[in-house]
Amino acid sequence: MTVQQIKYFLVLASELHFWKTAEKVFISQSSLSRQIRALEDELGIPLFERDKRNVKLTDAGKFLREHWTTTINELDRLHRQARKIDEGTTGLISISYPGSIAFKFLPDFLEKLNTNMPELQVELTEPTDENHEKFLLNYQTDIAFSRDRINHPGIDSLKLYSEAIYLVVPDDHWLNKNVLKDLTPLRDEKFIISGLHRSTFFASLLRSLFDKHGFEPKTTMESDFGGMILNLVSKGLGISILPSSFRFARTEHIRFIRLEEEIDLYVNWRKKEFNKAVKKIVEYASAIGRSITTTHWDIPDADPLK
């Protein structure tokens, strides 16, 4: 039994048609039939019921389709990882990130990668559940940017920088301040924020922020996508709280009012990582983080984008 035979079986199990399957896997129909027959003979069980018009999976075939699909997918992931390890700077690197860094840090970081590692292919993923630890351990990503440090014995983390949290309001909002220390005057406002029931780090930060000020926000809309939140605030549908990075989205008809809280950005990677590119990428991320710190994104009582 070979991996190729299993792959032929899985395609046939999906198509249930020998001619279409043979065309899809680029072999003749007779060769496909011989491969499937050899697989059945080795296993000692029929995998398909055949007649002149129809091909159907047997119960044993259905069982193996389910389990072999998982096995082949895992093998493919391992093969991809092996290729990335071997290829180094000319290979493929997968990066997961929170949406809030998409307007400043991430473009600057990717520009640096493109300048210094032009042959590197980059896959970007914004996981909605922000489970970057799972992505790293399952080899679904190689570099994970996250708002909190990942505490796992198999993962290294490096803090890149800190940035302030801002209240985001429509530009005609009654609150006329550059810095706000007390949220209680906003207890009757309509908020558009990430769901406070979520387990993400930012949702946890928001919960503690509202607890600190002694009220529960009147949440009229929930979204984990900051770009959408900015657009809704600009339409006057509510107010929000977002990291400073979103100021670089340059959305019109909104104002940013600085709060006292800050949020961090970390870069995370596997400790036992053989991919030659990862170490270099972490160094470039660290360099961008230092440049952000030294240029002082967060200037109290002023918004550099206005």
β-strand 143-146 against 92-96: which pairing, if any?
parallel
Same domain, 73 and 203: no
CA–CA dist 262, 209 (Å, integer)? 11
Grade residue 301 by pLDDT with cuts at 50, 70 and 90.
Answer: very low
Same domain, 25 and 152: no
Same domain, 136 and 242: yes
- Average pLDDT on 20-42 reads 91
Same domain, 79 and 97: no
- Write down which residue in 61, 87, 113 finishes a domain: 87
Domain CATH number, residue 199: 3.40.190.290
Same domain, 96 and 48: no
In the numeric block, which tokens belong to residue 250? 């340059």
Same domain, 43 and 188: no
Residue 153 has pLDDT above 90, yes or no: yes
- Write down which residue in 35, 57, 87 finishes a domain: 87
Same domain, 49 and 131: no
Residue 53 has pLDDT above 90, yes or no: no
- Write down which residue in 37, 52, 87 finishes a domain: 87
Same domain, 100 and 237: yes
Number of H helices, E strands in the chain: 9, 10
Query: What's the mean pLDDT when you consider all of the chain?
Result: 88
Q: Give me the residues paired with residue 242 across strands.
A: 166
Same domain, 80 and 100: no
Reference 187, options 164, 165, 210, 220; nearest CA is 210
CA–CA dist 176, 195 (Å, integer)? 27
Same domain, 162 and 275: yes
Domain holding 131, by residue range, is 92-306
Same domain, 186 and 292: yes
Domain CATH number, residue 48: 1.10.10.10
- Average pLDDT on 14-38 reads 91
Grade residue 78 by pLDDT with cuts at 50, 70 and 90.
Answer: confident
Report the domain count for the chain.
Answer: 2
Same domain, 220 and 102: yes
Convert the pLDDT of each residue in 252-267 to its tens digit.
999 999 998 899 999 9
pLDDT of amino acid 85: 64
